[in-house]
């Protein structure tokens, strides 16, 4: 069925005649009559009672008109829904972020997003860097934020903001006043699981000094690491942002390490060839705003910088 012919048919009925429909659509009456004739030939039924001097539908015409109104109603609804999506009045924003980002940085950004666009549902997932990349590649998320290095030809890597990693210890630890990089090697350390961006960056930074942690205990996340350090299980290397709450409570301290400062780059990943959604573009803008706030509060960079 030719939808253009169907649209003209519905216009004739709505306007109450061929002449009025032609005027409303800025078409000639013969053009409309030809379209209706072609539609009737295609359907093998007459749609109008030509014996009447007014527009009168046959039974087939009545049935078709009812379905045409339903069809064009769905079309209008689809157009309205798309306008609402473009206008950020409805929709879903799907985000996957590495654990540190998801727990300590992203919530305040999502709070501002929700305030501006309360009609958008937010679905945020936390995972390690490797899992976040997998979700993006499988199109399960619109936005991917990671804290570990990524080298994959299927994604673009966009620099977002810097994040400093610090060594934390219990307040009564001998290293609370400071230590050398090589002194760290003999200490027990709480570490994240393989695939964690924090773990990868930490290993690379220490390797530049020829240091490898030999006494490690794997725990399930940054929160567990902080609680373990406070309980005296060992030291850990975590994001300064993640350590802030326990530092304020006095349960942990940052160990000054002579000659070592680890600054990693947090990144946003996008799929090559995939156009961003309106909501993902808006979130990216808010992430940039958050970066400017962080830069304004940050001290100058020095020491080791991880790509």
The pairing of beta strand 235-239 with beta strand 91-98 = unpaired
CATH number assigned to the domain with residue range 3-86, chosen from the 4 options 3.40.50.1820, 3.40.50.10330, 1.10.10.10, 2.40.30.20 = 1.10.10.10
Beta strand pairing call for 189-191 and 120-127: unpaired
| Superfamily of structural domain 91-161+265-305 | Periplasmic binding protein-like II (3.40.190.10)
Q: Tell me which CATH code domain 164-263 carries.
A: 3.40.190.10
Q: Do domains 91-161+265-305 and 164-263 have the same CATH topology?
A: yes
CA 124/CA 97 separation, integer angstroms: 8
With a CB cutoff of 8 Å and minimum separation 6, the contacts of 89 are 117, 119
**For the chain, which residues make up each domain, given as ranges?**
3-86, 91-161+265-305, 164-263
Distance (Å) of CA 30 to CA 103, 106, 183, 226: 67, 62, 93, 81
CA separation for the pair 258, 306 (Å, rounded): 18
Per-residue H/E/C for the chain: CCHHHHHHHHHHHHHCCHHHHHHHHCCCHHHHHHHHHHHHHHHCCCCECCCCCCCCECHHHHHHHHHHHHHHHHHHHHHHHHHHHHCCCCEEEEEEEEHHHHHHHHHHHHHHHHHHCCCEEEEEEEECHHHHHHHHHCCCCCEEEECCCCCCCCEEEEEEEEEEEEEEECCCCHHHHCECHHHHCCCCEEECCCCCHHHHHHHHHHHCCCCCCCCEEECCCHHHHHHHHHCCCCEEEEEHHHHHHHHHHCCCEEECECCCCEEEEEEEEEECCCCCCHHHHHHHHHHHHHHHHHHHHCCCCCCEECC
| Joined tokens for residue 237 | 């290397």
Question: Beta strand pairing status for 155-169 and 262-271?
Answer: antiparallel
**Low pLDDT (below 50) residues in the chain:** 300-307
Residue 296: per-residue pLDDT: 67
Using CA atoms, how far residue 194 sits from 129, 166, 186, in Å, is: 10, 19, 21
Predicted model pTM: 0.65
């Amino acid at each position: 069925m030719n939808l253009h012919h169907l649209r003209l048919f519905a216009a004739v009925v709505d306007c109450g005649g061929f002449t009025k429909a032609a005027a409303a659509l800025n078409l000639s009456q013969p053009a409309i009559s030809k379209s209706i004739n072609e539609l009737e030939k295609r359907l093998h039924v007459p749609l109008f009672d030509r014996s009447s001097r007014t527009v009168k539908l046959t039974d087939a015409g009545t049935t078709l008109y009812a379905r045409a109104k339903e069809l064009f109603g769905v079309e209008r609804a689809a157009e309205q829904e798309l306008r609402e999506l473009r206008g950020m009045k409805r929709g879903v924003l799907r985000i996957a972020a590495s654990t540190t980002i998801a727990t300590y940085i992203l919530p305040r950004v999502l709070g501002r997003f929700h305030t501006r666009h309360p009609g958008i549902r937010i679905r945020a997932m936390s995972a390690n860097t490797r899992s976040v990349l997998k979700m993006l590649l499988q199109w399960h998320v619109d936005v991917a934020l990671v804290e570990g290095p990524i080298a994959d030809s299927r994604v673009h890597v966009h620099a977002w903001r810097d994040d400093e990693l610090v060594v934390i210890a219990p307040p009564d630890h001998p290293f609370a006043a400071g230590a050398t990089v090589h002194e760290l090697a003999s200490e027990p350390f709480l570490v994240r699981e393989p695939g964690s961006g924090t773990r990868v960056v930490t290993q690379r930074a220490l390797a530049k000094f020829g240091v490898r942690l030999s006494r490690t205990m794997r725990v399930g996340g940054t929160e567990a690491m902080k609680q373990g350090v406070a309980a005296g299980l060992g030291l850990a290397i975590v994001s300064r942002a993640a350590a802030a709450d326990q530092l304020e409570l006095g349960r942990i301290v940052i160990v000054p390490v002579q000659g070592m400062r680890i600054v990693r780059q947090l990144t946003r990943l996008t799929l090559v060839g995939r156009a961003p959604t309106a909501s993902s573009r808006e979130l990216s803008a808010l992430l940039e705003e958050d970066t400017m706030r962080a830069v304004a509060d940050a001290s100058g960079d020095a020491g080791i910088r991880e790509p």
